Amino acid sequence: MYAIVKAGGRQEKVSVGETLVVDRIDAAVGSSVTFPAVLLVDGADVTADPKALSSVKVTGEILAEQKGPKIAILRYKNKTGYRRRQGYRSK
């Protein structure tokens, strides 16, 4: 049994007892979060109807906060001396 849920601006596949890393959520560490289900697969039964999925609850607990990998962005144009360096790190 697994479900496709909306989490952190993406759709993620989750199953029971699985750990999931998502983008920033406004909740404290240790609190419970409910994710809206988009699709539910239970063996051969596939549920994608929004009315049927309104009764399905996918809950999770926030274990910790962590930062994502640092991304370096470099813009370069040859023969002009144009160089720009920018960094980004998601939370």
**Chain segment 55-85, per-residue pLDDT in tens:** 888 999 999 999 999 999 999 999 999 999 9
On average, the pLDDT of the chain sits at 92
Model pLDDT, residue 80: 97
In contact, 41 and 48? CB cutoff 8 Å: no
User: In angstroms, rounded to a whole number, what is the distance separating the alpha carbons of residues 60 and 31?
Assistant: 9
Q: What is the pLDDT of residue 24?
A: 85
Distance in angstroms (rounded) separating the CA atoms of residues 86 and 72? 6
pLDDT in tens, 37-59: 999 999 899 999 899 899 888 99
Q: Are 49 and 39 in contact, with CB atoms under 8 Å apart?
A: no
Instruction: Write down the pLDDT at residue 79.
Output: 97
Band the pLDDT of 8: cuts 50, 70, 90: confident
Phi/psi region, residue 43 (left: phi>0; alpha: psi -120 to 50; beta: rest), is left
The pLDDT assigned to 91 comes to: 79
Cα(84)–Cα(64) distance, integer angstroms = 34
